[in-house]
Amino acid sequence: MPSAAAAAAEAAALVRQLAAEGELSAEAAERRVKEIAAELAVRGTYRQHTRELLLGTRIAWRNNPQCIGKFYWKGLEIRDCREVGGVGGDERALFEALVEHLRLAWNGGKVRLLLSVFAPSRPDRPGPRVWNGQLIRYAGYRRGDGSVLGDPGTVALTEAVRRLGWRGRGTEYDVLPLVVQWPGRGPRWFDLPPDAVPEVPISHPEHPWFEGLGLRWHAFPTISDQVLELGGLRYPLAPFSAWYTCTEIGARNLSDTNRYDKLPAVARGMGLDTSRDRTLWRDRALLELTAAVLHSYDRAGVSIIDHHFATKQFVRHEERERKSGRGCPADWSAIVPATSGSTTPVWQRRYEPTRALPNFSPHSAPWPPDGAWPPDGA
């Protein structure tokens, strides 16, 4: 948490920025700056107006250099959950609010851009958070021989929730429970109800055998391991849902060798020669897997965007920002899609990953290192 003086400076910068963007008059902004400074002096924190929360969070997204979807920044909707759970911390109420978030974001397949804001940290009491990097993720079980069943990307979290007593079914796609924690209290886990976890089975438009691979993915991502840094306040739990770009699933989650590593299985199905890299079996399998993802989400009526459209929108966003007199902070390696990068308009461009507030920044892993659970004295 920033000091009261730093918070006052950050808050003033945000309010003046909103004025500069035409959201309130300069006089109203200066009145609000004084009001916030006074509240900070007394309480060490302040309560943001709902509108500051909404407009500021949209700017935090616009400032984030990692996201290719910022074209839609003005379409982000906010759910105000700052009161959920009350002072003592009610983990079940928090869990239920997260489930409700998933249902609202899903929206029957027409995925919404939705962020729920929970209690901010205060000088005397940090806000609640979840252990999960995303609200919906599959478990990764490390086996005796070192291999992993499920998602190798979640082995540490899976081991942590198993130490808390959770037991999965032991399939390749077991949805992890949500682990909710208030600082100073023990973590509690809750299994998500199936209707809050829409998934899409992956099939291919031309290869009937593809469905037999049994691949699937959750319908949309909900990032839950980022702190929202807004106007001098810090919101440690601000889960953000959006639709997928097909390459995130086809060219990363299901194909990275340190994730589901499915290219060899796809290539075998396609009858490719996998004995040498030079046959380009990986490239061919990667393309068909990504095509299968796009096809399957379309067929299931679930919002998804392809990387060509996404990058075109990104360039339009950059131009719009330039016309508004702003830059576009971006990290080239995060914006260029995982396949066919050179066929998209972002490839030739250069970006500065400038860090501006408001923004999102990643949490560190909340669970103690291997073997240290429960921590002494807990």
Interface positions with ligand ARG (CB under 6 A)? 69, 134, 221, 223, 242, 244-245, 248, 253
Tell me how far, at minimum, the Cβ of 153 lies from ligand ARG, in Å: 9
Least distance (Å) from ligand ARG to the CB of residue 188?
24
If we measure between CA atoms, which residue out of 219, 212, 211 comes closest to residue 194? 219
C-alpha distances (whole Å) from 72 to each of 251, 346, 372 are 23, 17, 43
What's the min distance (Å) between Cβ of 371 and ligand ARG?
A: 29
| Least spacing, CB of residue 106 vs ligand ARG, in Å | 14
Instruction: CB nearer to ligand ARG: give 203 or 241.
Output: 241
Our CB check for ligand ARG shows the closer of 244 and 360 to be: 244
Q: How far is the CB of 65 from ligand ARG (least distance, A)?
A: 13
Nearer to ligand ARG, 69 or 358 (CB): 69
Nearer to ligand ARG, 164 or 338 (CB): 338
Beta carbon of residue 32, minimum distance to ligand ARG (angstroms, whole number):
32
Q: What span, in angstroms and rounded, lies between the C-alpha atoms of 302 and 106?
A: 9
Q: Any idea what the Cα angle at residue 350 is, between residues 344 and 355, rounded to 5°?
A: 115
Q: How far is CA 303 from CA 3, 73, 99, 109, in A?
A: 42, 17, 20, 6
Minimum CB distance to ligand ARG smaller for 40 or for 242: 242
Considering beta carbons, is residue 71 or 244 the nearer one to ligand ARG?
244
Helix 263-270 × helix 281-299 angle, to 10°: 90
C-beta of 326: minimal distance to ligand ARG in Å?
22
> With respect to ligand ARG, which residue has the nearer C-beta, 61 or 182?
61
For ligand ARG, give the closer residue by CB, 36 or 59: 59
Shortest spacing between CB 136 and ligand ARG, in angstroms: 9
Q: Tokens at residue 296, please?
A: 């399957």
Is the backbone peptide bond immediately before 198 cis, with ω within 30 degrees of 0?
Answer: no
Beta carbon nearer to ligand ARG, 32 or 79: 79
